[in-house]
Amino acid sequence: MSFATLASRSGVSEPTIKRILGGRLDEASFANVTAVAQAMGSKLDFRESDVDELCRAQARKKAELVARLVQGTSALESQAVDSVTYQRLVEKSYHELLAGSRRRLWTV
């Protein structure tokens, strides 16, 4: 099926369809993903998930991102931290993120 046909059947713009099918789901609304899936004759599968586990995973991901940013900035100044200090930074950021507002887990 062409992108144009899929756009016509789903009511979703062609650029959005290309983003969705290209794996960039974070740039598409749930409604658009659902419409494209239905137009393709597919079903979306929802699995029960543990919200706390999801938050812990996101906190870990964001803590590692923060630590990499700090490490990268420090390396530019020839002051990169060793691996033990790096892991401490990840753990500290992780626990601070979990202790704070869940909203902070999902913001950039």
pLDDT tens digits along 10-58: 999 999 999 888 888 777 888 898 899 999 988 777 776 778 888 899 9
Distance CA 10, CA 38 (A): 7
Largest CA distance in the chain: 56
The 10 Å Cβ neighbour count of residue 8 is: 13
Q: Does the pLDDT of residue 74 top 80, yes or no?
A: no
Total structural domains within the chain: 2
Distance CA 95, CA 88 (A): 11
pLDDT band at 92 (very low <50, low <70, confident <90, very high): very high
Note down the domain range covering 28: 3-39
Q: Does the pLDDT of residue 2 top 70, yes or no?
A: yes
- What is the reported pTM? 0.52
Same domain, 80 and 100: yes
Per-residue exposure over 26-41, b if at least 16 CB sit within 10 Å of its own CB, e if not: eebeeebbbbbeebee
Same domain, 70 and 100: yes
Instruction: Please report whether residue 67 resides in a domain.
Output: yes
